[in-house]
C-alpha cells in the first residue's frame, strides 16, 4: 500500500539502508570477494534489497562494504533471522568463520535524505 501511494505521488518508499563496513585481511581479499558473491542470491531471497558488496580495488587494501535496503528495523530483524536459517546463509557465515578474512565488521543504518534522483548516465 505504501509503495502504491509512493508511485502515485512519485516519491520513493521510505526505506533504511544498511551499510556494513568490513576490515579485511589484505592477504585474503579473494576470500572476501567470494563471500560477497555468495550473498548475491542469499540476501535477496531472505528479503533485503541488496545494492551490492564492494571489495578493495585501489587505495585501501583492507576495507570492504556491503549495502542493502530494508523497510524498517523490524523488517531487518526478520530478514536476519531468515538469512541465518537459510542453508546458503549458514554456509557463508561458516565460510567466513573458517577462513578468518573479516577482522572487524561495523553496521550503520541510514535513510535517504536527498530528493529522488534520476538514473546515472555515463558520459
Residues 56-81 have pLDDT tens digits of: 988 778 999 999 999 999 999 999 99
CA dist 15 and 121 (Å) reads 24
Collapsed DSSP state (helix, strand, coil) of residue 6: helix
Cell of 60: 585501501
CB 110 within 8 A of CB 16: yes
Residues 8-65 have pLDDT tens digits of: 555 556 689 999 999 999 999 999 999 999 999 999 999 999 999 999 988 778 999 9
Structural domains present in the chain:
14-110 (3.30.70.100)
**pTM passes above 0.85:** no
Amino acid at each position: 500500500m505504501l509503495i502504491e501511494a509512493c508511485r502515485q505521488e512519485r516519491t520513493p518508499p521510505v526505506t533504511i539502508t544498511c551499510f556494513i563496513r568490513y576490515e579485511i585481511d589484505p592477504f585474503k581479499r579473494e576470500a572476501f570477494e567470494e563471500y560477497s558473491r555468495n550473498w548475491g542470491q542469499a540476501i535477496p531471497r531472505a528479503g533485503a534489497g541488496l545494492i551490492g558488496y564492494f571489495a578493495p580495488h585501489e587505495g585501501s587494501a583492507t576495507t570492504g562494504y556491503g549495502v542493502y535496503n530494508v523497510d524498517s528495523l523490524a523488517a531487518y530483524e526478520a530478514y536476519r533471522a531468515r538469512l541465518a536459517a537459510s542453508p546458503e546463509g549458514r554456509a557463508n557465515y561458516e565460510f567466513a568463520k573458517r577462513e578468518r578474512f573479516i577482522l572487524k565488521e561495523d553496521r550503520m543504518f541510514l535513510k535517504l535524505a536527498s530528493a529522488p534522483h534520476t538514473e546515472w548516465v555515463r558520459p
